[in-house]
């Protein structure tokens, strides 16, 4: 059995953040990451609620990383762990998680804000519409707009959220922002955020990691896709990873 096993659903925003981080870290060719196995859960078939997976993650959501010491069950914790694991083998490499105490704290600050405010607001507005055809109310839309305004202000003079370099905070926030597209929600007057998202799309691995999400988006909106319809399970997949009011891990 591999030392590390990552359980994911490819349409999930938190899972995509971890996968993109892993894609970038694997360029370092460190042994632990080279041996890491990625397993896709069939959430439409209820694999995330089966006894085997619940024994790993009792809440039955994704992603989960099995390590030699136990399981990690939050995407942001998983990315921190993977970065630090890579830093042990490649001390001078850029793992998207700074070694500077202050800079690392800044990244942690944004990851905490993402979990507690940004992605929370997005989930509250998106998931009821996506799974229950319930339109977001005024308060939910205001929460999304307020969250984007914070990001818009911070990106006015910065290339990335925590400074001049790409970090795992950018990966997490950007993947969360993509979820608005599934229900055709747009936030006006956010040119800095739009520019940042364009920069994110140029990251190596972005298109590969987001291909299942794009297929899901195409199937929802009736657009042509190379495998439109093949990923209809993603609607149910997101249910497995994200149940309001706590939309995701």
Domain ranges (residues) in the chain: 5-89, 101-241
* Low pLDDT (below 50) residues in the chain: 225-248
pLDDT of residue 16: 98
φ and ψ at 80, to 5 degrees?
-60, -45
**Is 0.85 topped by the overall pTM?**
yes
Alpha-carbon distance values, 148 to 48, 94, 112, 168 (Å)? 32, 28, 15, 18
pLDDT score, position 240: 35
Q: Is 145 exposed, middle or buried (0-12, 13-18, 19+ CB in 10 A)?
A: middle
State the pLDDT at residue 32: 83
- Asked whether this chain's domains 5-89 and 101-241 adopt the same fold, the reply is no
CATH class of 101-241: mainly alpha
What class, spelled out in words, does domain 5-89 have in CATH?
A: alpha beta
The pLDDT score that the predictor gives to residue 135 is 93
């Amino acid at each position: 059995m591999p030392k590390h096993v990552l359980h994911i659903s490819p349409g999930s925003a938190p899972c995509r953040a971890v996968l993109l981080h892993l894609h970038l870290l694997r360029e370092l060719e460190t042994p632990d990451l080279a041996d890491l196995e990625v397993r896709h859960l069939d959430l439409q078939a209820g694999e995330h609620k089966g006894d085997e997976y619940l024994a790993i993650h009792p809440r039955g959501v994704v992603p989960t990383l099995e390590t030699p010491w136990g399981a990690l069950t939050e995407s942001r914790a998983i990315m921190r762990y993977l970065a630090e694991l890579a830093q042990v083998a490649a001390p001078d490499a850029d793992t998207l998680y700074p070694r500077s105490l202050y800079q690392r704290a800044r990244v942690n600050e944004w990851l905490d804000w993402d979990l507690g405010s940004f992605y929370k607001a997005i989930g509250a507005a998106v998931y009821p519409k996506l799974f229950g055809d319930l339109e977001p109310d005024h308060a939910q839309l205001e929460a999304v707009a307020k969250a984007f305004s914070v990001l818009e202000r911070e990106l006015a003079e910065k290339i990335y959220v925590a400074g001049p370099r790409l970090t795992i905070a950018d990966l997490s926030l950007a993947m969360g922002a993509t979820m608005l597209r599934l229900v055709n929600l747009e936030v006006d007057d956010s040119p800095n955020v739009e520019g940042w998202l364009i920069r994110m799309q140029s990251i190596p691995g972005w298109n590969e990691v987001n291909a299942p999400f794009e297929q899901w988006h195409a199937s929802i909106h009736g657009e042509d896709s190379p495998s439109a319809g093949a990923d209809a399970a993603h609607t149910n997949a997101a249910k497995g990873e994200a149940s309001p009011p706590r939309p995701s891990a």
